[in-house]
């Protein structure tokens, strides 16, 4: 075969392959009139809530699955699949007694019963299945009283079971259906009780959902029949898709583009506080660390102009917080952030015996787990260098960053300077679990202090006490006390800011009411303007 023939054969063959794919494709249907198309920057990796590992998984899971309690659109905890629940004590042991809402159905028509929650509990406590099995460690047994009534018996009281997200830590999983289709079948065709039914999914492309006609909550439900969630990781492309009308709603508008999007006619934007809380963690576990001295930690607090960073690096898309953000249990409005005062920072360093400053590694996360996190870290470390805390900035991608902060690995490198860090526990923004991890002292094997460089017996005692306290006011008082000690002693790090997340949608078409779940990406109440509720639509 001659080379010219080979080239011609290739060109014709390649053209044939490419063109034939489109000739044989069914013609694109016109967009269904009762449908919306959304675009997310990221997507869930698993459709089974038992196997979720990261917050991003809830982007998809929260549309299909529900729990017993949740945070509503006004930020209040409300009963959801639980009609009522209470904390009891029997023989000195804690019991959570739950009554399930009646007449709730799964998407396949099966009724929701206590057996489904018991099934979910057994899966969620199995470390071979669930990455959150440690969250069920305090539960001794699950007792079914009747089809709509169950009890959780605890070895030890653990308030994080009712304060952390998801509250009461149990997803409604259809036992009968799961046993029919198996693990693999459930992952490919998940069934829950949520407002959206799963239709289909293409990994890295899209998720198709349909409003659940028999959804139990008629007051808060979607008002559109079909929902398509596209995955568009590139910011400009995602914004372009919204501007051209290819999609109706997008998440994660980057801060630098928010003004441009806001100026675009026909587009509405809205910003919400992310449940992630950013802070700087200090090395206070090595004997010769300069950060063992409170004056040095205070110097760090006064050295960084966080407001300027929010304004100029985040384009205003963030807010200061001091220990616990507003809305969180234990929030203390009298605790104010440290003022930016570089002269005071230098004076404190002199007092602490560092008139010429000192050198220190400064570990910076470069993977964009939050918007512009790398740039914010660089700015903060530049401020430190300006007062004499000379940062040798070490950029770390996500896994290396997790490793640098994790205690007890018995492997170098240890975190020997300052690291930009974050904590977040979903819609309720409760610090209980987070502080157990990065404020309580490190106790190998006991589940305390996995990321902690603090060793304060009083804080340890208070953190354990809040974990055992179910009375909300008593617990809030404990959290406030911990927050004040942390603030005054700068233990457990220096809180910096909470980022915003901004969404945008077509004003003429979309009605959207955000709910805090899934980092505000829950489509509990979304619809097309002036449309009838989906249940009134003619079924095809």
Partner 1 sequence: MAGAIKLSIESFDHEYLMYLIKRILQGLLSIVGASIVIFVISRLSGDPIAMLLPVEAPPSLIEQTRRDMGLDRSYFEQYVIFARHAIGGDFGQSYRWQMPALELVMQRLPATIELALAALLFSVVIAVPFGVLSAVRRGSWIDRFGNVFAMLGQAMPGFWVGLLLVYFFAIQLNWLPAFGRGTFAQLIMPAIALGWYPVAAQTRVVRSAMLDVLDRDYIRVARALGVPENVVIWKYGLRNALVPLITIMGVYFASMLSGAFIIEVVFAWPGLGRTVVEAVFARDFPVVQAGVLITSILFVTSNLLVDLSYH
Binding site for partner 1 (CB under 8 A): 1-4, 6-7, 10-11, 14-15, 17-19, 21-22, 25, 28, 45-46, 48, 51, 53-54, 127-128, 131-134, 184, 187, 202-205, 230-234, 236-241, 243-244, 246, 367, 397-400, 402-403, 406, 408, 433-434, 436-437, 444-447, 450-451
Tokens of 401: 């960053």
Please name which of 469, 459, 410, 467 lies closest in space to residue 438, comparing C-alpha atoms: 459
Task: Give the nearest distance from C-beta 390 to partner 1 in angstroms.
Answer: 28
Residue closer to partner 1 (CB basis): 40 or 212: 40
Residue closer to partner 1 (CB basis): 18 or 536: 18
Task: Give the nearest distance from C-beta 141 to partner 1 in angstroms.
Answer: 20
Asked if omega into 166 is within 30° of 0 (cis), the reply is yes
Q: State the SS3 of 380-396.
A: HHHHHHHHCEEEEEEEE
Residue closer to partner 1 (CB basis): 296 or 373: 373
Task: Give the nearest distance from C-beta 21 to partner 1 in angstroms.
Answer: 7
Tokens of 441: 């002292």
Residue closer to partner 1 (CB basis): 131 or 149: 131
Residue closer to partner 1 (CB basis): 446 or 536: 446
| DSSP class per residue in 392-409 | EEEEE-HHHHHHHH-TT-
Residue closer to partner 1 (CB basis): 88 or 199: 199
Task: Give the nearest distance from C-beta 345 to partner 1 in angstroms.
Answer: 30
Task: Give the nearest distance from C-beta 97 to partner 1 in angstroms.
Answer: 27
Task: Give the nearest distance from C-beta 53 to partner 1 in angstroms.
Answer: 6
Under 8 Å between Cβ of 361 and 513: no
CA–CA dist 168, 142 (Å, integer): 13
Residue closer to partner 1 (CB basis): 250 or 418: 250
| DSSP class per residue in 149-212 | EEEEEESS--THHHHSSSTTS-B---HHHHHHHHHHHHHHS---SSSEEEEEEETTTEEEEEE-
CA–CA dist 397, 404 (Å, integer): 11
Task: Give the nearest distance from C-beta 243 to partner 1 in angstroms.
Answer: 6
CA–CA dist 208, 224 (Å, integer): 13
Task: Give the nearest distance from C-beta 92 to partner 1 in angstroms.
Answer: 25
DSSP at 491: T
Residue closer to partner 1 (CB basis): 353 or 447: 447
Report the DSSP beta bridge partners of residue 525: 513
CA–CA dist 539, 167 (Å, integer): 35
CA–CA dist 393, 216 (Å, integer): 53
DSSP at 33: T
| DSSP class per residue in 115-139 | HHHHHHHHHHT-TTT-TTGGGGTTE
Residue closer to partner 1 (CB basis): 38 or 299: 38
Under 8 Å between Cβ of 47 and 60: yes
CA–CA dist 414, 406 (Å, integer): 8
CA–CA dist 282, 59 (Å, integer): 32
Residue closer to partner 1 (CB basis): 174 or 426: 426
């Amino acid at each position: 075969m001659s080379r010219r023939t080979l080239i011609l054969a290739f060109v014709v063959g390649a053209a044939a392959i490419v063109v034939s794919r489109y000739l044989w494709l069914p013609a694109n249907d016109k967009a269904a009139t009762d449908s919306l198309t959304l675009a997310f920057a990221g997507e869930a990796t698993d459709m089974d809530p038992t196997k979720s590992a990261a917050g991003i998984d809830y982007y998809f899971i929260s549309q299909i699955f529900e729990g017993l309690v949740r945070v509503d659109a006004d930020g209040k905890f409300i009963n959801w699949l639980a009609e009522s629940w209470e904390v009891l004590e029997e023989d000195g042991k804690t019991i959570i007694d739950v009554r399930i809402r009646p007449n709730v159905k799964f998407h396949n028509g099966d009724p929701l019963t206590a057996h489904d929650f018991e099934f979910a509990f057994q899966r969620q406590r199995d470390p071979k299945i669930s990455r959150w099995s440690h969250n069920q460690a305090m539960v001794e047994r699950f007792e079914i009283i009747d089809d709509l009534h169950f009890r959780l018996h605890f070895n030890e009281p653990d308030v994080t079971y009712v304060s952390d997200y998801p509250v009461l830590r149990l997803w409604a999983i259809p036992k009968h259906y799961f046993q029919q289709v198996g693990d693999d079948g459930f992952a490919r065709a998940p069934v829950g009780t949520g407002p959206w039914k799963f239709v289909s999914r293409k990994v890295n492309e899209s998720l198709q959902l349909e409003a659940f006609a028999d959804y139990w909550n008629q007051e808060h439900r979607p008002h559109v029949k079909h929902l398509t969630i596209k995955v568009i990781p590139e910011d400009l492309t995602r914004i372009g898709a919204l501007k051209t009308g290819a999609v109706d709603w997008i998440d994660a508008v980057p801060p630098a583009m928010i003004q441009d999007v806001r100026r675009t006619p026909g587009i509405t934007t809205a910003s919400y506080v992310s449940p992630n809380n950013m802070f700087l963690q200090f090395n206070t576990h090595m004997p010769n660390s300069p950060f063992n001295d409170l004056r040095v930690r205070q110097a760090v607090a006064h050295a960084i102009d966080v407001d300027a960073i929010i304004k100029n690096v985040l384009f205003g898309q963030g807010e200061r917080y001091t220990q616990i953000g507003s809305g969180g249990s234990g929030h203390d409005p009298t605790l104010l952030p440290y003022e930016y005062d570089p002269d005071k920072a230098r004076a404190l360093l002199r007092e602490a015996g560092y008139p010429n400053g000192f050198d220190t590694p400064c570990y910076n996360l470069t993977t964009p787990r939050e918007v512009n996190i790398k740039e914010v870290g660089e700015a903060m470390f530049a401020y430190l260098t300006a007062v004499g805390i000379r940062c040798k900035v070490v950029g770390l991608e996500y896994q290396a960053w997790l490793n640098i902060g994790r205690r007890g690995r018995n492997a170098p490198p240890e975190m020997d300077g300052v690291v930009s860090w974050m904590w977040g526990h979903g819609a309720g923004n409760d610090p209980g679990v987070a502080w157990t991890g990065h404020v309580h002292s490190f106790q190998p094997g006991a589940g305390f202090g996995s990321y902690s460089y603090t060793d304060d017996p009083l804080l340890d005692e208070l953190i354990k006490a809040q974990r055992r306290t179910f009375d909300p006011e008593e617990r809030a008082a404990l959290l406030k006390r911990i927050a004040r000690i942390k603030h005054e002693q700068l233990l457990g790090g220096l809180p910096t800011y909470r980022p915003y997340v901004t969404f945008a949608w077509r004003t003429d078409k979309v009605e959207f009411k955000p709910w805090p779940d899934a980092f505000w990406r829950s489509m509990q109440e979304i619809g097309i303007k002036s449309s009838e509720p989906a249940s009134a639509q003619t079924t095809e």
